[in-house]
Structure 1
Amino acid sequence: MGKESGGSSPSKPNRRRGKGKPSNRGKELKWIPLGGMGEIGKNISALQYGDEMIVIDCGLKFPEEDMLGIDLLIPDVSFLEQNRGKIRGIFITHGHEDHIGGLPYVLPKLDVPVYATRLTIGLIKNKLAEVCPRYKPVFHEIGAGDTVDLGSFSVRAIAVCHSIPDALAYGIRTPAGVVLHTGDFKLDAQPIDGRTTDYGAFAELGREGVLLMLSDSTNVEREGFTQSERTVGRTFEQLFRLHKDKRIVIATFASNLHRAQQVFNIAMRYNRKVALVGRSMIAYVDLARKLGYVSAPDDLFIPAQEADGMQPNRVVVLTTGSQGEPFSGLVLMSKGEHRQIKLGNRDLVVISATPIPGNEKLVSRTINMLFSCGCEVVYERDQAIHVSGHASREELKMMISLVNPRCFVPVHGEYRHQVRHAQLARDLGVPAKGVFVMSNGDVLSLSQGGKGSVEGRVQAGTIMVDGLAVGEFQGSLLKERRELAQDGILTIAVALGPDGSVRGVDMDSRGFLHRQDAKDLYGELERAVVKALEAPMGDDAMRTAIRKSAREVLSRYTKGYPAIVPLLVRQG
């Protein structure tokens, strides 16, 4: 193990090295979440012992509707930057955006090695190439069953099932005790790739004694067990059989490569070609085929522009857009704006996903537009067209019982998920004093005797990414954008002579009443501005006077004001 790529490498990780570790016994073990607590996404945490630290995951989160113009959210890693010299490496559980999406913005600042599986490394490299192509990180390829020794930490990679191949949990041995991070998981007994969750490894850690368990909370409110991914395959098979005369369009997450594999297998059985639509869908499938995670012959695929010219019963379209993303393949098709594929009554559209919280309106709008195109649409949850990649309540119970930790922290979930998962752990016998519902930035200190306490906080929060700009936009910038969205903008350009006298006033607006719609108002505004500038004054005072006089006029016509932007133009 320990394959390396990119940049100069630190000493190779060994399966069992066990020497050269600093004498840190007696020091406290600390676990510090910097994202992913009380939220879905932006997962990142640090494990610290003495002067050494490892980081687990570095994800992003997508913006909420009121975050106008913001592209994505990443964790504030100021704490890690301040302790960069202590970090031995970043361990990635799997290749979903909420676990790797922050790396292009964070990794160049920390410049530490990354440990991940082959597929996950490939996905990270693609992201780095887009955002920071000149940065050359050091990667160490690991696989399930491998152990990496880094100073005080001995990190064992454990296979788990999820909705993307090569997902891992981590069992981390430290001088203070064992820490288990489950990553995102479910207990699928019949996974598509045959790679099951490694119950034996979890049981072995449980027998050894686990000091702290960090467990995925996403589906704690769902009773029972999460269904196998093969359930979706059986549903697809039935849809292909019942709709032999129609073109089938399937929208799903680009990262769900197990689902893509099932689509390819069924398409071959029914003598259909596959058109991939959406940049991320094409990129994921290309990478997975190149690395051997997806098996499909080259002649199965056709360019999207050929799909409309073929008989409907000879084509399957696999596309992005299951969450109603505005510029995704499915949404463009539903609007009739896709350049290559036009939908109609010859199409069956299958939305193979459930809406992520906050996306319900976007998905509903897309479904309505698909029906208006004349399509038949399958989207109901009871149709078994989607299964989750996360463990439901009974699986979470099994994992806690198998591991039997002394301390427990629910992670990867909204606050209510954390609270319910914490209660579940207490019900299963984890001591109440050892169960912690934490927030981003909290510091959990653990002693060798198994006692834990949340003591102090470090800086943690959200950094917003707007295009290529990365920064703390939560304050004035977002406020300005909301005001512009609500009330519009009015520019008032004043031409001034050499002596400062007003030679003319010109106005323009966006998102506010235009001149042709309110000639009297604009005339009154012009007279008020001219009068306000009769007395000599400096430029700053002029701008203030323009805003004040304009607001006085507008207050008689409207309750809200547009953003007023004065421009001074000196002539002569």
Structure 2
Amino acid sequence: MERQGVCMVRSTRGAARKRASEKKDGRLKYIPFGGLGEIGKNMYALEYDGSILVVDCGLMFPNDEMLGIDFVIPDITYLEERRDKIVGIVVTHGHEDHIGGLPFILPKLNVPLYGTKLTLGMVNNKLTEWEPNYVPDYREVSAGDAVAMGPFTVRFMAVCHSIPDSVGIAVETPLGTVVHTGDFKLDPTPIDGRVTDYAAFAREGEKGVLLLLSDSTNVERSGFTPSEHVLAATLDRIFRQYRSRRVVIATFASNIHRVQQVVDAAARFNRKVAFMGRSMVKNVDLALELGYLHADPKMLLDIEDVNTVSPGSLVVMTTGSQGEPFSGLVLMSRGEHRMITLGEKDVVAVFATPVPGNERMVSSTIDRLFACGCEVVYEKDRDVHVSGHASRDELRLMFNMVRPKYFVPVHGEYRHLVRHAQLAEDMGVAGKNVFVMVNGDVLVFDGKGAAVKEHVQAGGIMVDGLALGELHGSVLKERRELSEEGVVVAALTLSPKGELMGRPVFESRGFVHFEDAAKLRDELTLAVEKTIDEMGEKALSEPERLESKLKARMRDFLRRYGRISRIRA
């Protein structure tokens, strides 16, 4: 795996003095920085006598109110102030909500990164894209390995999830073992044959587990999560029913198991496969290179060549199952893709369900696909998705295997955490030992008991555009107001005597087109001229006062004009 460049880290003056005053107290702390009460940006730390182990470092996609925001990553102020105490970061698997924050956070912390081969490969792809000059310290591990990291020993356990090479971990500490399931389900027939290691979890339970951190995503679903294999029948039905049509399948770019199923089905029906979308192509190339995806090279087709084969001989796999702007599926639905124009002879199958918060984008994309005239197969009428997360009965089995003394539900919205906490009590965990926490809470173990005794800074950092932008709530508020009310900008030039040179120029966005509102423009010009006349020569010597007066005069005028209900200078 190629490593490039130079590491850059941020200075944290003052933190050293603070750390010097911290005494070793023999306490173990669990500190979540993301993933509690939300879907995404999963990250937490275990701290013992000042040594810190970090687990996962994900991102979260924005909600509808986060205008112009690409994604959100955890606030790591607490960790930056203690950077020299961090023994490493462990990542459990390669999904964005577990590794997506690393390009922004790993260079700041500059510590070893532990993960399985495929997971580190996906991390490396992201770092190469975002931080090409950074040289990461990768430490590859496999299920079954045990690695000492300061006062912690981390044992890696295979789990079945919707991406290969996923692991859960058991972290042995001086006060007891912390078991984290990672994202998991108990699929007895996974696509790659790699089942969740029941025996490893049971061994931890036999030795004694202090704390269990368990995936809460599907706690509201009864029974067991179906196997990924059930989708094979849906794929066969689609290819059999639409033998002469081109088939486009949208799914998560990281779901290598699903990609394998599509490749296998395409082989059965003599179709070539083309991949569309940068993340899809990167992940497929990586999985092929590392041996996690298997396909006959003769059946793989470059997206540039899709129009050289008959429609019935082709399946296109694309990104965009969540309605992401500029993804392959969205571009096709808008008629903007340079290689593929959808029509009545096409079948589009969306092999995913909307992630919470993405429902509107997914619905809009499906509507546009119907408008293109193509046949659309999605969650309403076929089995097109199975979850990678354990349902209620699987969570019960995990409790039976691990038998923890304490329990914290993780990886879920608040209702999921509450329901999982209730399930823990049903499974025999004492109610006083079950903690429903929020990001930033500090759960402290002192050898006698456990309690949430502290709270640290653990909000979200919003990534805006192609660079990291630490945007505050006031910025988002201004964006919302601009989107609702518009903006008016005045530009004017003053002579050395403070006199107005020419007419002011007004620009408007989202308010009114001044070229179509001559009367409004003329009256606003008079208001500006009156303000400058009132200030006289002070218009030049006191520019800040002039700006303030102009804003106030324009605000009052526009309010009287009655075009909008609220004006901000």
The alignment's TM-score, normalised by the length of structure 2, stands at 0.93
Deviates more, 1:509-518 or 1:176-185: 509-518
Kept in 2, the 8 Å contact 1:490–1:563? The answer is: no
Residue 14 of structure 1: aligned partner: none
CA distance in 2 between partners of 1:361 and 1:132 (Å): 32
Deviates more, 1:105-114 or 1:65-74: 65-74
Within a 5 Å distance, the mapping from 1:4-83 to structure 2 comes to 27-83=26-82
Residue 475 of structure 1: aligned partner: 473
CA distance in 1 between partners of 2:81 and 2:473 (Å): 24
Q: CA deviation at 1:186?
A: 0.4
- The match for 2:545 among 541, 547, 553 is 541
Q: CA deviation at 1:468?
A: 4.0
Residue 423 of structure 2: aligned partner: 424
Within a 5 Å distance, the mapping from 1:157-196 to structure 2 comes to 157-196=156-195
Unaligned stretches of 5+ residues in structure 2: 7-22
Deviates more, 1:407-416 or 1:392-401: 392-401
Consecutive aligned runs of 4 or more in structure 1 exceeding 6 Å deviation: 3-8
Q: CA deviation at 1:470?
A: 2.4
Residue 502 of structure 1: aligned partner: 500
Residue 156 of structure 1: aligned partner: 155
- What letter matches 1:158 in structure 2? M
CA distance in 1 between partners of 2:306 and 2:171 (Å): 50
Kept in 2, the 8 Å contact 1:483–1:562? The answer is: no
Kept in 2, the 8 Å contact 1:25–1:175? The answer is: no
Distance 1:6 1:311, change over 3 A: closer
SS of equivalent residue, structure 2 residue 501: strand
CA distance in 1 between partners of 2:468 and 2:305 (Å): 40
Q: CA deviation at 1:496?
A: 1.1
Deviations 1:384-442 (A, max 9, x none): 11000000111111111211100000000011100000000011100111100001111
Distance 1:553 1:7, change over 3 A: closer
Kept in 1, the 8 Å contact 2:163–2:257? The answer is: yes
- The match for 2:485 among 484, 487, 491 is 487
CA distance in 1 between partners of 2:27 and 2:427 (Å): 27
Unaligned stretches of 5+ residues in structure 1: 9-23, 565-572
Distance 1:131 1:5, change over 3 A: closer
Kept in 2, the 8 Å contact 1:276–1:319? The answer is: yes
Distance 1:36 1:347, change over 3 A: same
Deviates more, 1:536-545 or 1:77-86: 536-545
Q: Does 2:398 align with 1:399? A: yes
Within a 5 Å distance, the mapping from 1:219-258 to structure 2 comes to 219-258=218-257
Distance 1:341 1:562, change over 3 A: farther
Deviations 1:475-520 (A, max 9, x none): 3322222222122221111221110012222212122211232211
Residue 463 of structure 2: aligned partner: 465
Deviates more, 1:544-553 or 1:166-175: 544-553
Kept in 1, the 8 Å contact 2:379–2:385? The answer is: no
Q: CA deviation at 1:4?
A: 11
Kept in 2, the 8 Å contact 1:93–1:168? The answer is: yes
CA distance in 2 between partners of 1:25 and 1:531 (Å): 69
Q: CA deviation at 1:208?
A: 0.7
Kept in 2, the 8 Å contact 1:25–1:176? The answer is: no
CA distance in 2 between partners of 1:198 and 1:206 (Å): 13
Within a 5 Å distance, the mapping from 1:497-536 to structure 2 comes to 497-504=495-502, 505-535=504-534, 536=536
Deviations 1:519-563 (A, max 9, x none): 111111001110111132221111112111112221122233566
Deviates more, 1:114-123 or 1:62-71: 62-71
SS of equivalent residue, structure 1 residue 284: helix
Kept in 1, the 8 Å contact 2:43–2:57? The answer is: yes
SS of equivalent residue, structure 1 residue 48: strand
CA distance in 2 between partners of 1:448 and 1:469 (Å): 44
Deviates more, 1:275-284 or 1:530-539: 530-539
CA distance in 2 between partners of 1:395 and 1:188 (Å): 9
SS of equivalent residue, structure 1 residue 508: strand
Residue 262 of structure 1: aligned partner: 261
SS of equivalent residue, structure 2 residue 221: coil
Kept in 2, the 8 Å contact 1:533–1:545? The answer is: no
CA distance in 1 between partners of 2:266 and 2:365 (Å): 25
Deviations 1:444-500 (A, max 9, x none): 111335x21111111111111112442431233222222221222211112211100
Deviations 1:151-197 (A, max 9, x none): 21111000000010000000111110010011100000000000000
Kept in 2, the 8 Å contact 1:267–1:316? The answer is: yes
- What letter matches 1:461 in structure 2? G
Deviations 1:213-235 (A, max 9, x none): 00000111111110000011221
Kept in 2, the 8 Å contact 1:532–1:549? The answer is: yes
Residue 454 of structure 2: aligned partner: 456
SS of equivalent residue, structure 2 residue 489: strand
Distance 1:322 1:468, change over 3 A: closer
Q: CA deviation at 1:247?
A: 1.0
Residue 438 of structure 2: aligned partner: 439
Q: Does 2:330 align with 1:331? A: yes
- The match for 1:559 among 546, 549, 564 is 564
The alignment's TM-score, normalised by the length of structure 1, stands at 0.93
Q: CA deviation at 1:285?
A: 0.2
CA distance in 2 between partners of 1:446 and 1:4 (Å): 41
- What letter matches 2:470 in structure 1? E
Percent identical among aligned pairs is 55
Kept in 1, the 8 Å contact 2:4–2:134? The answer is: no
Instruction: Tell me the number of residue pairs that the alignment of Structure 1 and Structure 2 aligns.
Output: 547
- What letter matches 1:497 in structure 2? S
Q: CA deviation at 1:381?
A: 4.7
CA distance in 2 between partners of 1:552 and 1:500 (Å): 23
CA RMSD of aligned residues (A): 1.9
- What letter matches 1:520 in structure 2? K
Residue 204 of structure 2: aligned partner: 205
CA distance in 2 between partners of 1:508 and 1:482 (Å): 19
Residue 109 of structure 1: aligned partner: 108
Kept in 1, the 8 Å contact 2:4–2:133? The answer is: no
CA distance in 2 between partners of 1:275 and 1:359 (Å): 26
CA distance in 1 between partners of 2:300 and 2:122 (Å): 22
- What letter matches 1:546 in structure 2? L
Q: CA deviation at 1:305?
A: 2.8
CA distance in 2 between partners of 1:62 and 1:130 (Å): 19
Deviations 1:334-371 (A, max 9, x none): 11111001111111111000011111111111111111
SS of equivalent residue, structure 1 residue 406: strand
SS of equivalent residue, structure 2 residue 447: coil
- What letter matches 2:194 in structure 1? R
